Amino acid sequence: MQSRPWCVAQPRNDLAPRAFAGHVYTDPALLDQALTHRSAGSPHNERLEFLGDALINQFIAEALYRYWPKADEGALTRGRAELVRESALAGIARTLDLGANLVLGPGEMKTGGHRRDSILADALEALVASIYLDAGFDACRAVVLPWFDPLIAGLPPANKVGKDAKTRLQEWLQARQRGLPVYTLVEEHGDDHARIFRVSCRLAEPAITTEGEGSSRRAAEQQAAEAAMQVIDA
């Protein structure tokens, strides 16, 4: 694979790699388009993003249908949302070194667009569409689904997926008729534009107190609740 610098789009028919992310392209121009951000000119990858989004959703829906044979529609929907969210797609893009191969305009290049989750996720969707258009549905699925295998294997049980830590903790306590957690702001520090909140989560039964930090009080509460769940599940 030949890496390209982050730069304004140029005619690259002779430079485009024919193999990328496990697929050998019959039409390398599709790969060029998938890797070109709209800030770099046309043809760019926005239309491919639209198609790739639909393909990924279909691949993941089918994979989860088989992975969770007893899950209901709600759990399957939450699981799919977890796997296709922007940060998950951006993480896969990083494993493929997609950012190092993007073609960006000068503004995006200066602001580090090759590292931004939104740009990486969109480019991954475009990449999927380019493989589909180059080789068809079955070949595309065979290349793309293995990218998601670690994320699928790392999902919590179907009845817990998609629920945040505070919700899971509350449900655990209520199912055992125990008192709800008490969240207390312990500390707040930092500049106005970069505040850090530290929050405690105290349970009466079992007697547990945990803490969490975050850029908002809600985020800190979620972290503290996650810490409490880890103690409970230990």
53 tagged catalytic: yes
Q: Which residue in 53, 82, 134, 221 is the catalytic one?
A: 53
Q: What is the pTM of this model?
A: 0.67
Residue pair 64/71 in contact (Cβ under 8 Å)? The answer is: yes
62 is in an annotated binding site: no
What does the pLDDT profile of the chain (234 residues) look like in tens digits? 344 433 333 434 444 457 999 999 999 999 999 999 999 999 999 999 999 999 999 999 999 999 999 999 988 988 998 899 888 999 999 999 999 999 999 999 888 988 989 999 999 999 999 999 999 999 999 999 999 999 999 888 887 776 788 988 998 999 999 999 999 999 998 877 678 899 999 999 999 999 999 888 988 998 999 999 999 987
* 31, two tokens: 């790969």
Residue 119 CB neighbours (<10 A): 23
213 is in an annotated binding site: no
Structural domains present in the chain? 19-153 (1.10.1520.10), 165-233 (3.30.160.20)
125 is in an annotated binding site: yes
Is the link from the previous residue into 43 a cis peptide, with omega within 30 of 0?
Answer: yes
Q: Which residue in 82, 108, 125, 134 is the catalytic one?
A: 125
For the purposes of burial, counting CB atoms within 10 Å of the CB of 154, is it exposed (0-12), middle (13-18) or buried (19 or more)?
exposed
